[in-house]
Structure formats: structure tokens, C-alpha cells
A and B are shown apart, each in its own frame.
Chain A
Amino acid sequence: KQEVTQIPAALSVPEGENLVLNCSFTDSAIYNLQWFRQDPGKGLTSLLLIQSSQREQTSGRLNASLDKSSGRSTLYIAASQPGDSATYLCAVKQGGSEKLVFGKGTKLTVNP
């Protein structure tokens, strides 16, 4: 059974700092890994999708890496801003289905 873990559960940083969020998964037989952002009480916004054959993806100040063999992914946020404050979730897709298995998320607070 696939399990996804995100560390830390919460993170508070000053504005402008670079930061890394971590995601680990137990079964390396995945099709892809997706990072999402969730604002309080809202739905999920897709940030980056990394296919199993890829090592990293970049979008603006965000960079996600994937090491499938070790079961790890990181989301790097450069020059953090207060507007980046949200919960960040990672999810893996596997098994020939559309099912995503999510971690519990990392709650990020960027202080002005």
C-alpha cells in the first residue's frame, strides 16, 4: 500500500527566504508525482507535475525534483513571498488508475 509522507508538517519563514518542502513515498512504482497548493477551505491548485521518467520541473520560482528510486521529491520555493502562504500537498499516481495518493501536507507561513 502506497504511503506518502510530508515533512515538516508546518514551516514558518521570513519573506525572501528560499525554502524546501519534502515528500517521500513508499512504493517507487509511480506514473507521476504532482505538487498542489491549497488555500484555507479551498480546492487544490496544481503547481507542478513530474512524470516518472523526469528528474525535475520548473515553473517560475518553483522547482520540483523527483528521485523515484529513493522515493523522494522536493519542492523548492525561491524568494518566498507572503502570498506563498498556504498548505502544499504532494500526491503520487500509480497502478494504472487515476487514483492519487496524497500526503497530509506542509503548512507554509511566510512572514512579511
Chain B
Amino acid sequence: DAGVTQSPTHLIKTRGQHVTLRCSPISGHKSVSWYQQVLGQGPQFIFQYYEKEERGRGNFPDRFSARQFPNYSSELNVNALLLGDSALYLCASSLLALTDTQYFGPGTRLTVL
């Protein structure tokens, strides 16, 4: 079975632009979470979605939004990009049991110039 997939792999944008990142969970997984990892830091939680509903939100501005589709794939949108949004964006999926392992994708490297 394929693992968590993310697209694109790399992305370069300029300040003020908008970006959409995509994630496909492991087959059968209904929960998708998004994390931001800046260089030298651990990942920071952005959102969690389950059955197309937001189940958790981290401490990020309203410029960040996400949604989940009926096939459980997800998009993360970031508006009005800032230099500080440059990071590795990670998607994780799980079966949504509290005891379950979360499986991470390879990430999307976003560079904002």
C-alpha cells in the first residue's frame, strides 16, 4: 500500500501570494493532520480534519485554512504569504483512534521570497 503522499514536493512563491498544498492519506485512514516545521525546530500542529470536519486547530493565523474531501484527501491553503511561512509542511494520517500511530508524508518544502 502507498504511504501518505503530498504534492508538490517543492514550491517557491513570493510574498503576498497564495499557495495550496495537497495530501492523500493512507488508504482507509480518515483523519488528516497538517504540521509546519521550520528549520531546526520540531513540527508544529496546524489543523486536524476528520470526515470533512475540522477537529483541531493550532495557534496559526487565519491566513491558514484547510479542507478535507469525501475521499479523505486534504488541502492546506495559505494566503498572503510571508517570509516566515517558509518551512516544510507535513501531512499525517491515522485511523483516528487515540491510540493509533500517525504516519507522515514526505512533506512539501515551501520557500517564500
Residues of A within 8 A of B (CB): 4, 31-32, 34, 36, 41-46, 49, 51, 89, 91, 93, 96-105
Contacts and interface: CB of A to CB of B under 8 A. Distances in A.
B102 A98 contact: yes
Nearest to A107: B40
Contacts, number: 70
Interface string B93-108: 0101011011111110
Contacts of B4: 43
Chain A binding surface, main DSSP class: strand
Contact of B99 (A31, A41, A44, A103): A31
A44 B90 CA distance: 9
Given A43-B106, A44-B90, A99 B42 contact: no
Interface in B73-99: 88, 90, 92, 94, 96, 98-99
A43 B107 contact: yes
B75 to A, nearest CB: 18
Contact of A46 (B31, B102, B105): B102
A46 B41 contact: no
A100 B94 CA distance: 12
A42 B106 contact: yes
Contacts of A93: 98, 102
Interface of B: 4, 6, 31, 33, 35, 40-45, 48, 50, 55-56, 58, 88, 90, 92, 94, 96, 98-99, 101-107, 109
B56 A99 contact: yes
A32 B101 CA distance: 9
A44 B56 CA distance: 21
B27 to A, nearest CB: 17
A78 B41 CA distance: 26
Contact of B56 (A32, A91, A98, A105): A98
Contact of A44 (B31, B96, B104): B104
